[in-house]
Structure 1
Amino acid sequence: MNKQDQLNRIKEDFIHSQKVLQAIGDETRQSILLVLMGTECQTGLRVGEITEQTHLSRPAVSHHLKILREAGVILMRKEGTMNFYYINIRTKIGLLKNLVSDIDKFLEDFY
């Protein structure tokens, strides 16, 4: 693959990763992600539990969870009237792996 083809691939990676990058670029959302990653609970956390650990207001946590869900970074599971949030490790985060891998390969090949 020549240099221009690699650059085009990286450009496409950026386009596909844009929502994820915007979602995880916010410091508040990063703290929510860290809480979700740090939990021992495999079933996810409720908004109240995230609120306790981040010291954010409930509306703020809900707002940021919505952005993370829309970007595909986290998923929600309903259990009766309760919603549980957890990291979506299989899909959208993988886009970032591809982006970093393609950039790394480009830099190895041309610099």
Structure 2
Amino acid sequence: MHAFDVLGDPVRRRILELLAEGELSSGAVCAVIRAEFGISQPAVSQHLRVLRDNGFAVVRPAGTRRLYAVRHEALRDVDEWLERFRRFWTPPLAALATEVARGKRRRRLAAEDNEKETP
């Protein structure tokens, strides 16, 4: 399965978002996904299996629990593929950051001027 086939599913993307925050038990992942997507525990387990089988997640036993974590190597492959497209969004985002910084500076200077004028 191609990486974008795996990541094309919103449930799997959400699971990766959860795992990006740190290792989680399958039960914890299941609880969040069931609440957000309304799917069954077996369906969540299937999504976890797809992530694991395609190298996006790893699992380790911890007593009776199974703990899942992101496997960063698969995401590095996606990042490398996206590299050729970064030129489309990097300059506009940099320009946006500059404009935001200018706006903050203007507001700060205006506030300082108001403080000087108010006795």
Shared fold, TM over 0.5 = yes
> Could you tell me how far apart the structure 2 residues matched to 1:71 and 1:86 are?
13
Aligned to 1:46: 25
Which of 37, 61, 68 pairs up with 1:85?
68
Aligned length: 83
Q: Render the CA deviation track for 1:47-68: whole Å, top value 9, x for unaligned.
A: 2111111123210111000101
Q: Which amino acid aligns with 2:32?
A: Q
How high is the sequence identity, in percent, across the aligned residues? 27
Give the RMSD, CA atoms, in angstroms.
Answer: 1.8
Report the secondary structure of 2:61's partner residue.
strand
Aligned to 1:67: 50
> Could you tell me how far apart the structure 2 residues matched to 1:81 and 1:68 are?
21
Report the secondary structure of 2:52's partner residue.
helix
Q: Render the CA deviation track for 1:58-109: whole Å, top value 9, x for unaligned.
A: 10111000101111111111123321001111x111111111113447xxxx
Runs of 4+ in 1 over 2 A off after TM superposition: 102-105
Report the secondary structure of 2:24's partner residue.
coil
C-alpha contact 1:46 1:85 (8 A) present in aligned 2: yes
Instruction: Considering Cα pairs closer than 8 Å and 6+ residues apart, tell me whether 1 or 2 has the greater RCO.
Output: 1
Unaligned runs of 5+ in 2: 88-119
> Could you tell me how far apart the structure 2 residues matched to 1:104 and 1:28 are?
25
Q: Which structure carries more helix by proportion?
A: 2
> Could you tell me how far apart the structure 2 residues matched to 1:76 and 1:50 are?
12
- Using the size of structure 1 for normalisation, the TM-score is 0.65
> Could you tell me how far apart the structure 2 residues matched to 1:53 and 1:61 are?
10
- Using the size of structure 2 for normalisation, the TM-score is 0.61
> Could you tell me how far apart the structure 1 residues matched to 2:17 and 2:86 are?
25
Which of 6, 13, 19 pairs up with 1:36?
19
